[in-house]
Amino acid sequence: MNIMQPIRLSQLSHGGGCGCKLAPSVLQQLLSGQHAGTRYKQLLVGVETGDDAGVWELDNGTCVIATTDFFMPMVDDAHDFGRIAATNALSDIYAMGGTPIMALAILGMPVDKIPAEMVRKILEGGASVCEAAGIPVAGGHSIDSPEPIYGLAVTGIGAKANIRRNSESRTGDKLILTKPLGVGIYSAAFKKGALGRAAYDEFIGTTTLLNRVGAELGRDTAVHAMTDVTGFGLLGHALEMARGATKTLAIKAGALPFLREATTLAQQGFITGASGRNWKSYGTEVALPADTAEWQRQLYCDPQTSGGLLVACAPDRAEALVKAIVGAGYPAARIIGEVRDGAPRVVLEA
């Protein structure tokens, strides 16, 4: 007797979520020499600093913000996969201080392995997040692909004065992180059947929490720089911020927020291949405490899918901003470090 086995989306791909991203060092090589900003004066943000989205200034002072993001499943529930992917794609607009206005779906599916109803649920999941953000999915493109892929191309808008790059932090700025770390750890545990229901709910809760607070932060002059923490991990995206501003970012390890079971699971060996690739790409520009354990380093490099915002702000406003961010629905938000004069690198302190 043949018994139909349930389809596990997470088993149909070699990776999942933002852990699928190319290693930072590989991406740098591919984009070398492709800076277009000098030829297009209205292109305010291009690929120069590895920022979250492209920004084009219109004649009336309004900016168009454009981004795209897609990946393979990190969960088996089709609706949840769609929600996570859409939330992650919208994050890039918020991280620039903008507001999304429209999305296009990007879909690649192994049509011989996945039933149409499951694909429909992926699309419905993504559409539900866009509806919550107040925008339509206005179209898109689909292909037959060996592994399932879903994401969005998103268009947003923002006033020029509200655009927040990842490269404009200032000496003395405090660093705020708005969401807990450990998404990649949870993803690895899920794929191996070791993530309990409560942890899964926490996992879905953080990865489907829209970073819409970024639009509010962009309107605050005390906020100088902003990015979202995704596939390169906290250290990788902090390093991009450090390079862009030619500053040293000092982060307090003890101040970092983590998902409730992330530390335990990391110690048990539930890590992603991306965390190792991340460290290999940028480890020479990061200083860790001498007693840092391997599992701790994996946490600091852990790829975050739909992670939080990393914000550099004036020190005298940091506490008030954290209070406002928590009040806006991000209870894990906290000050994690500061910006210092020095070579562009990240220093993790005990």
| Cα–Cα distance for residue pair 331/325, rounded to 1 Å | 8
- 176 Cα distance to chain centroid: 15
| Cα–Cα distance for residue pair 248/340, rounded to 1 Å | 5
The residue behind tokens 């690649």 is: 108
> Could you tell me the two tokens for 239?
């390093």
- 161 Cα distance to chain centroid: 23
Secondary structure tally for the chain: helices H, strands E: 11, 13
- 334 Cα distance to chain centroid: 17
Non-local (6+) Cβ contacts of 96 within 8 A are 45, 51, 52, 53, 55, 65, 156, 158, 163, 164, 165, 214, 218, 226
The residue behind tokens 């450990």 is: 182
345-349 and 286-287 beta bridge pairing = parallel
The residue behind tokens 């975050």 is: 304
SS3 52: coil
Q: Which residues, in sequence order, are bridge partners of residue 100?
A: 156
Question: Does the annotation count 18 as an active-site position?
Answer: yes
Helix (H) or strand (E) holding 104: strand 99-109
DSSP assignment of 65-112: EEEEEEE--SSS-HHHHHHHHHHHHHHHHHHTT-EEEEEEEEEEE-TT
DSSP 27: H
| Cα–Cα distance for residue pair 245/323, rounded to 1 Å | 26
> Is residue 337 a contact partner of residue 255, using CB atoms and an 8 Å limit?
yes
The residue behind tokens 């084009």 is: 56
Which of the residues 18, 63, 301, 313 is marked catalytic?
A: 18
| Cα–Cα distance for residue pair 86/92, rounded to 1 Å | 11
Residues forming the active site: 18
